[in-house]
Amino acid sequence: MESLKYSMFGFSRKYKIRDAEPPADVKEAFTKYSESESGNGSSQMSADQLLRFLIEFQKEEGYTISDAEKIVQRHRVTKPTGHGLCLEDFFHDLFFDDLNGPIKSQVHHDMTAPLQHYFIYTGHNSYLTGNQLSSDASDLPIIKALQNGVRVIELDLWPNSEKDDIHVLHGRTLTAPVTLIKCLRSIKEYAFVKSPYPVIVTLEDHLTVDLQAKVAEMVIETFGELLYYPASGCLEEFPSPEALKHRIILSTKPPKEYLESEGPTEKDSSTEAALGKESPDLAADLDPDDRDDTDQDDEGSDGCEQKSCQLGARQYKHLIAIRAGKPKNGLKEALRAGIEKIKRLSLSETALEKAAESYGTDLVRFTQKNFLRVYPKGTRVTSSNFNPLTAWMHGAQMVAFNLQGYGKSLCLMHGMFRSNGECGYVKKPDFLMMNGPNNEVFNPKTALPVKKTLKVRVYMGYGWHLDFSLTHFDSYSPPDFYTKVYIVGVPADEAKKKTKVIDDDWTPVWDEEFIFPLTVPELALLRIEVREHDRSEKDDFGGQTCLPVSELRPGIRAIPLYEKNGEKLKSSKLLMQFQFV
């Protein structure tokens, strides 16, 4: 038992950090599963008994006697005379989140459906290091995002001052630029360090036609065979994340210059040959409308520069696998039309809220085949974010978030994409992709019955004295911790609870249970936050996490806690139990 000494006005008081005591439920489980055949309790749990506990109590799947034996064997190294786990060992292992975490750590969703069937981890202005007005642009935030599993990177493209190169920056602000080529090279290097599934690069294009041609050259030269583009322009069905492993996809509006051109021009054989060299099937796979009908050599002819630009625009257009567009005849018409070929539509959070209120089922139907990207409103200059649940309820695949800051909304985003082994792709619930007998789709406004009830018991916490200084929470005494538990989801499921405050204890024990009835558990998130009660000022932050309810593993689990920015605390954890009834 460790002692800590606090001083106040010349007087000293000693507080002891008591050893973590197993909760009553843990003791009861150990006693039950360590019983001998005669019915007498044993002081140790064998590998066979541990396996029975894991299957029956923890509802684990796939565990074998060999797995249980490895857990027991680890303790035999330090206790060679023991033949199994004692209560202390058993309790210690329950607190080990790598072994006993709250959700699965492997990819386990079906990854063979079309890309539109997934929520995709998406960044907004991915190159910014801080706020939206004056922070520097850099490839470092892009690298960090990819290392954290983000699968959609946004780049804003602008001409440099000489109009001969491309800068990435937040236009018409004070943000300092970074070159496009640096961003592209970093994307290539870090795209698949966290996840093998495809990276989508969305381009906000403010370029001239000749610079668009330069982008095409850079992209082909940098990504090479990693780049995916359809052989025949727009697709009627998009490939799956599984089929697109280790591929990079471009998404932007097709070049206006190409779309407005009056017809084919004479062939530029040298440029087309270069295309074939950099990407062997690109020239061969050009749309029939993109190919030129004559073999005439343009060298030395009038208008050569214009023709080269037009060819460059075609090349750039051909590389765009997910084509973006703006609604021309109003949003409602755009949602109902254009279902024949896949496209991407982008809406601000404000526009989404209005659309959801007026024609939510049209949004759901649109996202069954097309991509919907939702981005923060322009007034979020501090890189804050919005609640993503409305977008997810309506099937939006790309909820673009400012990843430079922190806040409750970003915590929810982290929680959603802890799903499915943190690979950056989360399979949408089936009800968002299904049509009823009369072709009706899911209506987020419809009141639904309770489908599942989640019981959450908060036992205790441990580890803050290892992560924080003695006086971090209180200058003169140990902290007064309490835990807040929230359900975030469809409006009917929203709820919040909190434990009592435990005074002056670095190892708080609450042992409180909360019950949450859920109508749409597939979209529910469990947000957990530990606070330190302060009577004179705002309560201090002691760690948080967010977990997808659909992925929760039943049983007694160790819950790691995170900083506000999403960085994992080294030692601070909660011990909790989850049950579905």
Instruction: Please give the Cα distance from 114 to 430 (Å, whole number).
Output: 13
What count of other Cβ atoms lies within 10 Å of the Cβ of residue 241? 27
- At 291 the pLDDT is 32
- Selecting from 3.40.50.300, 3.40.50.720, 3.20.20.60, 3.20.20.190, what CATH number does the domain 115-257+323-429 have? 3.20.20.190
Taking every pair of C-alpha atoms in the chain, what is the biggest distance, in angstroms? 99
* CATH 2.60.40.150 for domain 448-580: yes
Instruction: Please give the Cα distance from 106 to 419 (Å, whole number).
Output: 9
- At 498 the pLDDT is 98
- At 2 the pLDDT is 62
- Residue 567 structure tokens: 């960085």
pTM: 0.89
In the chain, which stretches have pLDDT less than 50? 9, 38, 257-304
- Four-residue CA torsion sign, 183, 184, 188, 193: positive
- Selecting from 1.10.20, 1.10.238, 1.20.1300, 1.20.950, what CATH number does the domain 24-94 have? 1.10.238
- At 531 the pLDDT is 98
Instruction: Please give the Cα distance from 220 to 241 (Å, whole number).
Output: 21
Q: Are strands 540-548 and 525-532 parallel, antiparallel or unpaired?
A: antiparallel
Asked if 205 and 157 count as a contact pair (C-beta separation under 8 A), the reply is yes
- At 306 the pLDDT is 72
- At 260 the pLDDT is 46
Instruction: Return the active site residues.
Output: 124, 170
- Name the residue ranges covered by the structural domains of the chain: 24-94, 115-257+323-429, 448-580
Rg (CA), the chain: 28
**Closest by CA position to 145, among listed 543, 424, 544:** 424
- At 330 the pLDDT is 84
